[in-house]
Structure 1
Amino acid sequence: MNSTARLAALIAFLSCATPTIGEETTHSFLACGQKTYIMDADGKATWTYPASTRDGYVLRDGSIVLTLSKSKRHRGGAVVKIAPDKTETLLWEGTQTEVNSAQPTAEGNLVITEAGDQPRLIEIDPEGEIVLEFPLACQKKNHHMQTRMARKLADGTFLAPHLLDFAVFHYGRDGEVLNKLDTTVPGDTEHKVHSWPFTAIRHGDGHTLVCCTHGNRVVDFDSNGKIVWTLTNDDLPGNWLQDPCGGQVLPNGNIVIASYAAGRADPNAPKLFEVTRDKNVVWKYVDGQKVGIHHFQLLTTNGKPLQGPVLK
């Protein structure tokens, strides 16, 4: 199947989706995963990309930065940018096993993580030159389970979730480990619950929201590293937390969560849902398909673009 046929098939797949969207709240969003697309508030795909992705950002000028999964075309993964006129530019070719995340910074740079024998975080300028680099202090045996959504913070330091280390590491600009947030379930000293950190979001007054994948929990740490808020399936109408990977904190303080495994057992399980701090569900997205959403970015709420920094 050629690329044109693949794209047509993907559009047909998305057009058959029947999303359930709350009556009072609507969102449009970029979805990354086995399928990559932008869904409008009416549940229609307005843009698609014919490749699997791990992370993605829609920029203010309409360009889209995508972290591509490893493939025959990009053996170690890659980062690309698609302009509004659909011109695609290769920003970074992975040099190891995987590229797991790529975050555009306020300065116009990109913060990228690579998994492999020498896991590392790099920051590149718009010309693709490395301006900062340091090794990640995660385990090296299992490349795929080294790290996920690393983000640069406003103070120039970095957060990087390390899955099999059961912790979110806080790095200085020189790679020094400044702190760790332990995502182990309290009392689970043998890590029988795989509460692997996937997304770590610094928000509010030094809080850090962490999505923990196979543990099916989302926790919020205060500035002292104490867990002050936890969301589990006991708080929801059903088992909606099914491998919660991606997350985003909205300007109003609400939290949107992606359940990557939703749909495998129950196609009608929400792929995305929004909860308040009081754990009330105000929006959900259901498409009836078995393909999940790895990460995402909400773009609009009730037709208006989200303002402020993208906290995801």
Structure 2
Amino acid sequence: MRRFSVALLAVLFLSQSLAGPLQAAGRRFLAADSSKKTLALIDEDGQTVWQHQIGPLHDLHQLADGHILCQLNWTRVVEIDPATDEIVWEYDAATANGNEGKKVEVHAFQRLADGNTMIVESGPARIIEVAPNGQIAREIPLKVENPHPHRDTRLVRKLDSGNYLVCHEGDGVVREYDATGAVVWDFPVPLFGRQRRKGHGLEAYGNQCFAALRLKNGNTLISTGNGHGIIEVTPAGKVVWQLQQDDLPGIRLAWVTTLEVLPGGNIVIGNCHAGPDNPQLIEITRDKEVVWTFHDFKRFGNALTNSQILAIDGKPVRNSVR
């Protein structure tokens, strides 16, 4: 009987090892996957508590009142009340504020402290802050060297300083702009001596950055998109920390998308286009230890680009950086 128990434990251990890191419970989060056209709130037991049908999406936020700021396609940004599933505010960049007939896509937006909404328009290459009535309160032009309505930008965040930190996917550069549109800092994402390879999955390679966060120490954390990793760079442009494609045991990174730095310092990353053998969301320590993963190819698929951690073990997550 003892031999049988030992053998059974060995089989279970082997099967878990082949499946990758164990998926821990205890995270409530918001996530979206364009391939399954699904935006959903997942509770700490892994159950879906709310979902909404979407189209292509590259940004999302749960607001302080519980409403969800997201997009339903490349131009339509909406605020949804999950309690009623009603849209309570919306802005369509396809036709608003001079964009009629232009090629435009939105890949980033943010509700600001003054109640206005920052919307970043690829194609017109501008950041606009719109009032609740949809009128432009501020407009900031962007510098784009390789213009394309799908690739001008990815995530953009307004900093506490009032500046804007912009990921330019097509240029492979992170630029910081002041309120006049002047570039006050930039960082070309390195290829680290490797050749570019086409594709979106594990086979691809490039520097098409997706997200950038300004850390409390003044450094900038960047997800390198199809560079399969994360880098932390100083204001002088020195790389002082790096996560690469095969640094995490049992996990391979593909198109690394959104970043979130939790109050305790752990980093949550989106592992998009990595295939069904790899988790879509991963939480790691600064020592590159995996503490939590989300791996679900039934509700979500191979295009889970964005997430936001809302609570850990019943405690709301506040003041994360994302």
TM-score normalised to structure 2 length: 0.82
Residue 281 of structure 1 pairs with residue 290 of structure 2 = yes
Residue 185 of structure 1 pairs with residue 196 of structure 2 = no
Identical counterparts, % of pairs: 34
- The alignment of Structure 1 onto Structure 2 pairs a total of residues equal to 281
What amino acid sits opposite 2:76 in the alignment? A
Match of 2:314 among 299, 303, 307: 303
Alignment map for 1:95-106 (pairs within 5 Å): 95=94, 96-106=103-113
Contact 1:57 1:297 in 2 (8 A): yes
Aligned equivalents of 1:125, 1:207: Cα separation in 2: 31
Aligned to 1:159: 165
Contact 2:246 2:253 in 1 (8 A): no
Contact 2:270 2:305 in 1 (8 A): yes
Which 5+ residue runs of structure 2 have no aligned equivalent? 1-20, 95-102, 198-204
Contact 1:235 1:279 in 2 (8 A): yes
Deviations 1:32-60 (A, max 9, x none): 23121111111111111111232111111
Alignment map for 1:4-23 (pairs within 5 Å): 22-23=23-24
Aligned to 2:85: 86
Aligned to 2:127: 121
What amino acid sits opposite 1:114 in the alignment? E
Aligned to 2:97: none
**Shift in alpha-carbon separation, 1:140–1:232, aligned structure 2, 3 A:** closer
Residue 209 of structure 1 pairs with residue 207 of structure 2 = no
Deviation larger for 167-176 or 99-108 = 99-108
Deviation larger for 131-140 or 52-61 = 131-140
Aligned to 1:8: none
Aligned equivalents of 2:163, 2:176: Cα separation in 1: 7
Aligned equivalents of 2:171, 2:114: Cα separation in 1: 31
C-alpha displacement at 1:215, in angstroms? 1.0
Deviations 1:11-70 (A, max 9, x none): xxxxxxxxx8644x6211111231211111111111111112321111111111112323
2:59 is paired with a residue whose SS is: strand
Q: Find runs of 4+ consecutive structure 1 residues off by over 6 angstroms.
A: none
Aligned equivalents of 2:62, 2:51: Cα separation in 1: 13
Which 5+ residue runs of structure 1 have no aligned equivalent? 1-19, 71-76
C-alpha displacement at 1:191, in angstroms? 5.4
Deviations 1:195-220 (A, max 9, x none): 21100011221121111111101111
Aligned to 2:9: none
Aligned to 1:232: 244
Contact 2:58 2:155 in 1 (8 A): no
Residue 148 of structure 1 pairs with residue 148 of structure 2 = no
Match of 1:63 among 61, 67, 70: 67
Aligned equivalents of 1:33, 1:66: Cα separation in 2: 12
Contact 1:213 1:245 in 2 (8 A): yes
Deviation larger for 240-249 or 146-155 = 240-249
Aligned to 2:27: 27
Deviations 1:121-159 (A, max 9, x none): 111123322111122111354321110111000010000
What amino acid sits opposite 1:155 in the alignment? S
Aligned to 1:6: none
Deviations 1:181-237 (A, max 9, x none): 12112345x756412110001122112111111110111112332211100123111
Contact 2:54 2:71 in 1 (8 A): no
C-alpha displacement at 1:240, in angstroms? 2.8
Aligned equivalents of 1:141, 1:307: Cα separation in 2: 36
Aligned equivalents of 1:142, 1:125: Cα separation in 2: 27
Aligned equivalents of 1:101, 1:94: Cα separation in 2: 12
The root-mean-square deviation of aligned C-alpha atoms, in Å, is 2.0
Aligned equivalents of 1:311, 1:125: Cα separation in 2: 24
Contact 2:251 2:279 in 1 (8 A): no
Contact 1:258 1:293 in 2 (8 A): yes
Aligned equivalents of 1:185, 1:291: Cα separation in 2: 24
Aligned equivalents of 1:33, 1:119: Cα separation in 2: 25
What amino acid sits opposite 1:86 in the alignment? D
